[in-house]
């Protein structure tokens, strides 16, 4: 599916299902604008979606700002690039009207699995790459609440005392997302719906890239904006969590009822961006 077809599909779904997709309110905009990256020189606005190549693209914008020694992408991005919230009201309106706007999406089911394997899976990549003071951040922040819901308070307390026994399952995480969508933890940006992160029904994006076709989509965006000779970080990166075999393995172990509930929560994302829930590799 080409970029123009993706944009057309978003417009059609927005018009057809407008009452089912949240509008960007003034209150939401204040939060939204803190995350939106703006390159004033090149007149580009980028909406980062966690677990959809956002680390790669934040590095791109750091490189465009002249940052060459990139050690911690997320920390350096907060310090070194402009965000929509840094601008005046007049500048914000100018950006929304006139700048090239860009976002990246990913098959919702694959993204959810990637988030689980990174943040909450026992022995996941977050815990393996963080020091002791932050190693169990996601366990204590969210997993303990999920365990309390599905296994009871005693289990939750035991896992805090015996860290090596922690075993939150992907099924429990998936059921939490679908059963408790209004829980603060279920609305975290790492698994929040695309339409409630970038608001594509309120903001018209000029380029909609997909993780599944990231190299070609990135080249289209970079060449189209005269950036191909300035940027080396554009191909994206894959992880073990996003391979088709891993996705199939995890989802084949979920009850069909859990998958159906999960689909219902993210249904508008599937529709907006043309993803098929039956094709877990992201094919369209």
State the Cα–Cα distance between residues 20 and 268, nearest whole angstrom: 8
Of 205, 233, 269, nearest to 47 (Cα)?
A: 205
Tell me the pLDDT tens digit for each residue of 125-144. Answer: 998 888 777 889 999 999 99
State the Cα–Cα distance between residues 115 and 130, nearest whole angstrom: 16
The H or E element containing residue 2 is none
Contact of 142 with 188, CB cutoff 8 Å: yes
Tell me the pLDDT tens digit for each residue of 37-81. Answer: 999 999 999 999 999 999 999 999 999 998 888 888 998 999 999
* pLDDT score, position 232: 65
* pLDDT score, position 3: 96
State the Cα–Cα distance between residues 50 and 194, nearest whole angstrom: 9
Q: Is the pLDDT of residue 234 over 60?
A: no
pTM for this one? Answer: 0.92
Tell me the pLDDT tens digit for each residue of 106-122. Answer: 999 999 999 999 999 99
Picking from 53-62, 150-159, 177-186, which range would have the lowest pLDDT averaged per residue?
150-159
Contact of 195 with 21, CB cutoff 8 Å: yes
């Amino acid at each position: 599916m080409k970029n123009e077809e993706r944009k057309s599909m978003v417009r059609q779904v927005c018009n057809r299902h407008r009452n089912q997709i949240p509008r960007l309110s003034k209150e939401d905009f204040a939060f939204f604008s803190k995350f939106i990256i703006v390159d004033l020189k090149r007149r580009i606005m980028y909406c980062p979606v966690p677990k959809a190549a956002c680390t790669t693209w934040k590095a791109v914008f750091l490189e465009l700002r002249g940052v060459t020694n990139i050690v911690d992408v997320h920390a350096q991005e907060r310090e070194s690039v402009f965000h929509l919230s840094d601008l005046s009201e007049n500048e914000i309106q100018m950006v929304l009207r006139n700048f090239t706007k860009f976002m990246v999406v990913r098959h919702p089911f694959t993204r959810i699995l990637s988030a689980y394997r990174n943040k909450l899976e026992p022995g996941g990549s977050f815990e393996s790459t963080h020091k002791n003071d932050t190693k169990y951040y996601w366990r204590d922040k969210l997993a303990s609440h999920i365990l309390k819901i599905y296994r009871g308070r005693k289990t939750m307390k035991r896992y805090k005392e015996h860290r090596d026994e922690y075993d939150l399952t992907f099924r429990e995480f998936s059921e939490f997302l679908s059963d408790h969508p209004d829980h603060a933890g279920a609305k975290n940006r790492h698994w929040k719906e695309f339409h409630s992160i970038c608001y594509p029904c309120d903001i018209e994006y000029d380029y909609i890239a997909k993780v599944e076709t990231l190299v070609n989509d990135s080249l289209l965006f970079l060449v189209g904006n005269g950036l191909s000779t300035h940027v080396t970080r554009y191909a994206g990166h894959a992880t073990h969590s996003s391979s088709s075999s891993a996705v199939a393995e995890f989802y084949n172990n979920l009850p069909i009822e859990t998958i159906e509930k999960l689909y219902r929560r993210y249904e508008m994302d599937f529709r907006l961006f043309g993803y098929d829930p039956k094709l877990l590799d992201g094919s369209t």
